[in-house]
Amino acid sequence: MTGPEARAAVAARRPPVTNLDDVGATEDVTVDVTDGTVGARVYHPHGPAGVRRPVVVFLHGGGFVFCDIESHDGFCRAMSRALGAVVVSVDYRRAPEHPAPTAAEDGYAVLCWAVAEQDRLGIDANRVLVAGDSAGGNLAAVTCLLARDRGGPALAGQVLLYPVLDPGCDTPSYTEYATGYFNTREAMEWYWRQYLGDSGSPEPVHLVAPGRAVSLAGLPPAVVVVAGADPLRSEGEEYGDRLAAAGVPTVVRVHAGLFHGFATILTLRAGESARQLLWSDVTALLQARSPA
């Protein structure tokens, strides 16, 4: 099955999301990126007009192939409401039609757009976060590397939920959880093949596999969340340890017994306490950059 065929099959089976969190307003926008445009959805929280809000630029998961702003609409609403933040969800171009590093470049372009549009969006450019789940965690990490390397927007933090960081698929947790739960080594190897395409691994490699970055110094403070029963657990833990060793303030949360994808499954009662802890950790990042 090709990437587009698999994407269509998954989308056809996706149930509608109900009981969505109420937010103040949403707007769908189009953003110019390299060689084209991408969509984004902006979520505005409830609150008085004229108040500058923090902003979270969010990159959805889905193995670089699946999902979109609709699949993660419920999570973005919950995040905007919990944090009182503007959330910009990026509808980046997906593999295999658009191999690496297209999606990461799209994420960086939307980040720059959001900061440039700070007055219209009503955001506080001193409180800008980048976040993502799974493959989106990869793209969020790379977006932060791009901002550092290109002298881009100053970031208050990065939030990486069970991020995909390395195509090796050979860590201890890949061995332990090769055939489940919910995520498997075989699936991850397929996702990487779609994303890398014919080029194998474009250079510089850290813009595709941030886990292989030579230096993580100078990156924004991080919250790294991993699931205990997930092939990706080891690389998430290692990335958090490397960030801390590089002098980056880092919080690593390992949720034993939970599986890949738990944070965005809003109906999963077992993940509710982990989500509340996530909102608390992200709020702390934002408060560290709030004006006195």
Q: Is 134 one of the catalytic residues?
A: yes
Number of domains into which the chain is organized: 1
Residue 284 has pLDDT above 50, yes or no: yes
Report CA-CA distances (Å) from 161 to 132, 250, 259, 261. Answer: 6, 13, 12, 8
pTM of the model: 0.95
For residue 23, give the CATH number of its domain.
3.40.50.1820
With vertex at residue 80, the alpha carbon angle to CA 79 and CA 83, rounded to the nearest 5 degrees, is 80
Direct distance between the N- and C-terminal alpha carbons of the chain, in angstroms, rounded to an integer? 55
The answer, yes or no, to whether the previous bond of 4 is cis (omega within 30 of 0) is: no
Compute the mean pLDDT over every residue in the chain, rounded to the nearest whole number. 94
CB contact at 8 A, 88 and 42: yes
- What is the tens place of the pLDDT at every residue in 161-176? 999 999 999 999 999 9
How is 124-164 classified by DSSP, letter by letter?
EEEEEEEEEETHHHHHHHHHHHHHHHTT----SEEEEES--
Residue 3 has pLDDT above 80, yes or no: no
Note the pLDDT tens digit of each residue in 232-246: 999 999 999 999 999
Q: For the segment 51-75, what is each residue's pLDDT rounded down to a tens digit?
A: 999 999 999 999 999 999 999 999 9
CA 254 → CA 5, 87, 245, 268, distances in Å?
A: 34, 25, 18, 17
Q: Letter for the amino acid at 226?
A: V
Catalytic residue among 80, 89, 134, 173: 134
Mean pLDDT of 174-200: 92
Q: Which domain holds residue 157?
A: 3-288
pLDDT of residue 12: 67
